[in-house]
Amino acid sequence: MITGNTYGTTPLDPDESDGLLIEISTHSELDVAEQFNIALAELWATGRKHNDILTVKFLKRLHKEMFSGVWRWAGTFRTSNKNIGIEWRGGAISIALQQLLLDVECQINQGIYPFDEIAAHFHHRLVSIHPFPNGNGRHARLVTDLLLMHYHKSRGSWGATMQMPIEEIRKEYLAALREADDGSISRLTLFLRQ
Ligand SMILES: Nc1ncnc2c1ncn2[C@@H]1O[C@H](COP(=O)(O)OP(=O)(O)OP(=O)(O)O)[C@@H](O)[C@H]1O
Ligand SMILES: [Mg+2]
């Protein structure tokens, strides 16, 4: 069983290591490799202006930048169903993303909703579609930040200012996503700035 203390040194299962590009045997080694890859991707993403954030091509490219040093499937859509996410068959992921990106562009152009609310909706719908085999949360948090920054807003804090242990912050994030699943976005909008 994986517990809080042993998680880091727990060996990866064969199915967990499927698609790994580098030699890694434990979860903590994997965390370090992914974090390093993501840090480089953040430099790439924030170091220049991207005018194509709201495109499927950019969403895939960003995922690739974040994970291609570690995973073979980086930047490619999933080809199986998960407990979160839409049915993947029939090109449904690409279609759902195109619809989402069009909606967000309309919402921004119309200027009816506060920008943070648009960003929270975008984040929630993106993780709900769950385009990739893994890394959807980290990818959707970063691309939401990039969207905010592109429109001259500060990036989200995602609970970083909460005086709480990381596990409690995580619980709040997931609770906010579940409320968004039920149609209420306010908790996630707030969480973006907490
Ligand atoms: N009820 C929910 N509704 C929508 N999205 C959810 C829900 N629960 C979890 N998620 C999203 O799914 C993500 C987990 O998916 P995945 O493992 O692909 O991402 P990750 O980046 O590897 O995870 P993590 O955020 O733990 O680093 C969570 O971070 C969250 O964004
Ligand atoms: Mg994951």
The string of pLDDT tens digits covering residues 168-184 is 999 999 999 999 999 99
Atom of ligand 1 nearest to the CA of 139: 21
Q: Which residues contact 77 (CB under 8 A, 6 or more apart)?
A: 60, 88, 93, 94, 131, 132
Domain presence at residue 100: yes
**Pocket-testing residue among 84, 143, 179, ligand 1, by greatest number of atoms within 8 A of Cβ:** 84
Domain presence at residue 149: yes
Higher-pLDDT residue of 8, 147:
147
Domain presence at residue 132: yes
Give the integer Cα–Cα distance in Å for 116 and 114: 6
Residue 4 has pLDDT above 50, yes or no: no
Domain presence at residue 186: no
DSSP state of 114: -
CATH number at residue 93: 1.10.3290.10
Mean pLDDT value across residues 35-61: 97
Which stretch of DSSP H or E encloses residue 170?
A: helix 166-181
Higher-pLDDT residue of 74, 11:
74
Give residue 136 CA to ligand 1 midpoint distance, Å.
6
Q: How many domains does the chain have?
A: 1
Three-state secondary structure string covering 29-40: HHHHHHHHHHHH
Domain presence at residue 3: no
What's the pLDDT at 20? 95
Domain presence at residue 148: yes
The boundaries of the domain holding residue 50 are 22-156
**What average pLDDT is seen over the chain?**
94
Atom 10 of ligand 1 has which residue's CA nearest to it? 127
**Signed CA dihedral, 132, 38, 47, 114: sign only:** positive
Cβ-based neighbour number of residue 69 at 10 Å: 16
What's the pLDDT at 7? 58
Domain presence at residue 15: no
Cβ burial, residue 71 (10 Å; 0-12/13-18/19+): buried
Higher-pLDDT residue of 8, 110:
110
What's the pLDDT at 158? 98
Give the integer Cα–Cα distance in Å for 31 and 26: 9
What's the pLDDT at 18? 86
**Pocket-testing residue among 136, 167, 191, ligand 1, by greatest number of atoms within 8 A of Cβ:** 136
Residue 77 has pLDDT above 70, yes or no: yes
Sole residue written with tokens 């909008």: 189
The SS3 assignment for 26 reads strand
Residue 15 has pLDDT above 90, yes or no: no
pLDDT in tens, 87-142: 999 999 999 999 999 999 999 999 999 999 999 999 999 999 999 999 999 999 99
Give residue 128 CA to ligand 1 midpoint distance, Å.
8
Residue 3 has pLDDT above 60, yes or no: no
Closest CA to 22 of 8, 36, 10: 36
Give the integer Cα–Cα distance in Å for 97 and 70: 25
